Chain A
Amino acid sequence: MADININTVNKYYGDVHVIKDVSLDIKSQSFTVLVGPSGCGKSTMLRMIAGLEDINSGTISIDGQVVNDLPPKQRNIAMVFQSYALYPHMTVFDNMAFGLKLEKRSKDEINERVQEAARILQIEDYLHRKPKQLSGGQRQRVAIGRAITRKPKVFLFDEPLSNLDAALRVQMRVELAKLHDQLNATMIYVTHDQTEAMTLANDIVVLDEGIVSQNGSPMDLYHDPNNLFVGGFIGSPKMNFISTKITSKSSDKTEVDLMGSAKISIPKTSASASEGDAVQLGIRPEHLTVNADSDGSWESKVFVVEKLGSGTFLYLEKEGEPLVVETEGDSNIKVGDTVKVGFSASHCHLFDSSQQAFK
């Protein structure tokens, strides 16, 4: 068991306040992904859990024990770095055995544990090689192997797949998910890639400029974003945002103007909103329909068509910005066609001027 409790943690680099009063509970054996744009403080957060960065205020505890002043080696953690950070002069075996040797384990035990990790990661054939002789994917396996052999309570991953090519990244992503099932360990994973976050996580923590923007399961974040930032960050392609105004409001519904062509009544509301307020209407490309009956619709010209086989993305002109619509893969809509876009009211999101979502 290894619950991690982060309690009102703050971190400054000089005058820059990078982590602002962050509190998080990470459950034992969960796969938690810290996600956010670069500079949001996610790597700093991970490094503070690892003990590579000091904490200015607040506490971090692992398994109920406050670890603020413990050096990394006493925290029972292992970390996998983006750059692999392998020891270039050691063989793969020695790289994986280094931590165990420092723990003064017996030769047999070291051998057994390294072999086991190598078997899980399918790198048994490379054990006698130096990191230089391996490809990027193999190196990253060794880096993960180095973490596994020590059987830590917590695994920390700092953008481990960012240096790999796209195909390998997908493959390693699947293997990491499998690994989490096999090892039953607590894993904390930092990435800027929302696809990795969605596919791997039990729990996603979206960080924005040093604060937790939202924390929840991938589907919670996808269907029910707390604010404009999370709405825009989760999902690919991005959620469409349309600036509009509230035309009328009731206790459980808000009606907004749909680019002058129609009005749409959305089953969400906010106590602070009133008629005439400027709001952002958010809707995902996959929730828009083409030339079909809907709760509200709007017509526009198509200026780009992206065919992916499994689906087609249409880019429509909307007040200078594109509106992206997903439709079926074998659609025969061409550039220049005018299409009628249908909005599904139950899938629409509304965000007020302070970017908070209507519920």
Chain B
Amino acid sequence: MSILDISLIVCLGIVSFILYFHISNYILDFFGNNNLKRIKFENSIRVLIFIAPACIILFIFILYPVFETIRLSFYDKFGREFVGLYNYNWAVNDPEFKRSIFNNLAWLLVVPTLSTFFGLIIANLADRIWWGSIAKSIIFMPMAISFVGAGVIWKFIYEYRGPGDTQIGLLNAVIVSFGYEPQAWLTIPIWNNFFLMAIMIWIQTGLALVIFSAALRGIPKEMIEAARIDGASELKIFFSIIIPFLEQTILVIWTIITILVLKIFDIIFAMTNGEWQTGVLANLMYDWMFRGGGDSGRGSVLAIVIMIGVFPIMAWNIYKHKQEQKI
């Protein structure tokens, strides 16, 4: 399909939606009369007309796949025969699954925490120096790079050549110049996970930074001055006044990054493809679903595990939000 075809289809879609809203609205008006009861009834229909397209799309592309995935998790690899809890039983006993869960947990622990931490620290410090906004733009830039693109960039940092060869990887070039042996970074189990996490932190710190910068601007200057008069040091002000003030923002950023990390796939796919014990759930799911003939049963089980993983984070977030609303 050429670009022209695609834009034509997009335009067609937009025009048909505009027509849908206008025509259905017109028809409703056509049959309308001025009876007060009728107007109320008409308005409830109007609401339905306007939210129906969104609901239908939501149902087809989100709700239906969820139920289909749940169904498939109880069927065999071709989705034909009911096998009960067989796939779940397999997952619980699979060492790869355990490793992926462990890796995912490590990612969840390290990446959101460090991204939020760096974002907050940098946002705070950048406001105190004249080149702060330049630094912020540079730190934000990785946000514009796709995860795969970031993977390619970081491959040049972790690249390994045998001892004696010229090192084209930045990290190896540095340590060789100090007289150490070059390392194949991405193949060192456990540690290689952290090298991959560094990429995600590199990207997400920018997001945290931008949101924190905006939030910091919302802190009343007089409150900080009051704390200073009360005798608080800058460090005390940061921990006792600024951080509690930004609690909601910290929570939002932490949640956004946590959910992103739970779905992490691209970076690992591009860098190690889950080799050397770096696999996470999403990679494992992809492998089972689409590689070696595919096993929709096992793939679906893994997809459900990822989905369930998001629940507690969302629930906690909604709970916190409601608490905040109550006061």
- Which residues on A sit within 8 Å (CB–CB) of B241? 87
CA of A73 to CA of B244 in the docked complex: distance in angstroms? 22
CB pair A102–B229 under 8 Å, yes or no, is no
- Which residues on A sit within 8 Å (CB–CB) of B229? 50-52, 72-73, 77-79
Closest residue of B by beta carbon distance from A71 = B228
- CB 8 Å contact bits of A126-155 with B (1 = contact, 0 = none): 000010110000000000001000100000
CA of A289 to CA of B96 in the docked complex: distance in angstroms? 101
CB pair A89–B230 under 8 Å, yes or no, is no
- CB 8 Å contact bits of A101-123 with B (1 = contact, 0 = none): 01100000000000000000000
Closest residue of B by beta carbon distance from A75 = B229
B247 to chain A minimum Cβ distance, whole angstroms, is 7
Interface residues of B in 186-236 (CB under 8 A from A): 220, 222-223, 225-232, 236
A286 to chain B minimum Cβ distance, whole angstroms, is 39
User: What residues of chain A have their CB less than 8 Å away from a CB belonging to chain B?
Assistant: 50-52, 71-73, 77-79, 81-83, 85-90, 98-99, 102-103, 130, 132-133, 146, 150
Interface residues of B in 235-259 (CB under 8 A from A): 236, 240-241, 244-245, 247
Closest residue of B by beta carbon distance from A133 = B327
CA of A109 to CA of B244 in the docked complex: distance in angstroms? 26
- Which residues on B sit within 8 Å (CB–CB) of A88? 245
Interface residues of B in 108-154 (CB under 8 A from A): none
The 10 closest A-B pairs by CB, nearest first: A73-B231, A99-B230, A85-B222, A89-B244, A85-B226, A102-B231, A72-B229, A81-B222, A85-B223, A79-B229
Contacts A87-B241, A130-B327, A132-B327 known; A150 to B230 CB distance under 8 Å?
Answer: yes
A109 to chain B minimum Cβ distance, whole angstroms, is 15
CA of A52 to CA of B236 in the docked complex: distance in angstroms? 18
B285 to chain A minimum Cβ distance, whole angstroms, is 41
- Which residues on A sit within 8 Å (CB–CB) of B231? 72-73, 99, 102-103
CA of A58 to CA of B84 in the docked complex: distance in angstroms? 87
CB pair B220–A83 under 8 Å, yes or no, is yes
20 residue pairs of the A-B complex, CB under 8 angstroms, read A51-B229, A52-B225, A52-B228, A71-B228, A72-B229, A72-B231, A73-B229, A81-B225, A81-B226, A82-B222, A85-B223, A85-B225, A85-B226, A87-B226, A87-B227, A87-B241, A87-B244, A87-B245, A99-B231, A146-B230
Closest residue of A by beta carbon distance from B244 = A89
B195 to chain A minimum Cβ distance, whole angstroms, is 38
CB pair A89–B247 under 8 Å, yes or no, is yes
- Which residues on A sit within 8 Å (CB–CB) of B240? 98
CA of A79 to CA of B221 in the docked complex: distance in angstroms? 14
CA of A72 to CA of B222 in the docked complex: distance in angstroms? 13
- Which residues on A sit within 8 Å (CB–CB) of B232? 73, 98, 102
Contacts A52-B225, A88-B245, A130-B327 known; A73 to B220 CB distance under 8 Å?
Answer: no
CA of A198 to CA of B229 in the docked complex: distance in angstroms? 28
B56 to chain A minimum Cβ distance, whole angstroms, is 42
B271 to chain A minimum Cβ distance, whole angstroms, is 41
Most chain A CB neighbours (cut-off 10 Å) among B222, B232, B244: B222
- Which residues on B sit within 8 Å (CB–CB) of A98? 227, 230, 232, 240
- Which residues on A sit within 8 Å (CB–CB) of B225? 50, 52, 72, 79, 81, 85
Most chain A CB neighbours (cut-off 10 Å) among B230, B232, B244: B230
CB pair B228–A87 under 8 Å, yes or no, is no
- Which residues on B sit within 8 Å (CB–CB) of A89? 244-245, 247
A177 to chain B minimum Cβ distance, whole angstroms, is 23
B189 to chain A minimum Cβ distance, whole angstroms, is 43
- Which residues on B sit within 8 Å (CB–CB) of A102? 230-232, 236
CB pair A73–B230 under 8 Å, yes or no, is yes
Closest residue of A by beta carbon distance from B223 = A85
CB pair A85–B220 under 8 Å, yes or no, is yes
CA of A72 to CA of B247 in the docked complex: distance in angstroms? 27
- Which residues on B sit within 8 Å (CB–CB) of A150? 230
CA of A213 to CA of B222 in the docked complex: distance in angstroms? 28
CA of A143 to CA of B222 in the docked complex: distance in angstroms? 12
Closest residue of A by beta carbon distance from B230 = A99
CB pair B327–A79 under 8 Å, yes or no, is no
A205 to chain B minimum Cβ distance, whole angstroms, is 22
A126 to chain B minimum Cβ distance, whole angstroms, is 14
CA of A83 to CA of B241 in the docked complex: distance in angstroms? 16
- Which residues on B sit within 8 Å (CB–CB) of A85? 220, 222-223, 225-226
CB pair A72–B327 under 8 Å, yes or no, is no
Most chain A CB neighbours (cut-off 10 Å) among B231, B240, B244, B327: B231
Most chain B CB neighbours (cut-off 10 Å) among A99, A103, A130: A99
**Which residue of A50, A87, A133 is within 8 Å of B223 (Cβ)?**
A87
A203 to chain B minimum Cβ distance, whole angstroms, is 23
CA of A132 to CA of B223 in the docked complex: distance in angstroms? 14
- Which residues on A sit within 8 Å (CB–CB) of B220? 83, 85
CA of A130 to CA of B223 in the docked complex: distance in angstroms? 15
CA of A89 to CA of B247 in the docked complex: distance in angstroms? 9
**Which residue of B223, B236, B244, B247 is within 8 Å of A86 (Cβ)?**
B223
CA of A133 to CA of B240 in the docked complex: distance in angstroms? 21
Most chain A CB neighbours (cut-off 10 Å) among B223, B229, B232, B236: B229
CA of A88 to CA of B220 in the docked complex: distance in angstroms? 11
- Which residues on B sit within 8 Å (CB–CB) of A72? 225, 228-229, 231
- Which residues on A sit within 8 Å (CB–CB) of B223? 85-87
CA of A85 to CA of B240 in the docked complex: distance in angstroms? 15
CA of A72 to CA of B232 in the docked complex: distance in angstroms? 10
- Which residues on B sit within 8 Å (CB–CB) of A90? 244
- Which residues on A sit within 8 Å (CB–CB) of B327? 130, 132-133
CA of A142 to CA of B323 in the docked complex: distance in angstroms? 24
- Which residues on B sit within 8 Å (CB–CB) of A99? 230-231
CA of A77 to CA of B244 in the docked complex: distance in angstroms? 26
CB pair A73–B228 under 8 Å, yes or no, is yes
CA of A81 to CA of B222 in the docked complex: distance in angstroms? 7
CA of A81 to CA of B224 in the docked complex: distance in angstroms? 11
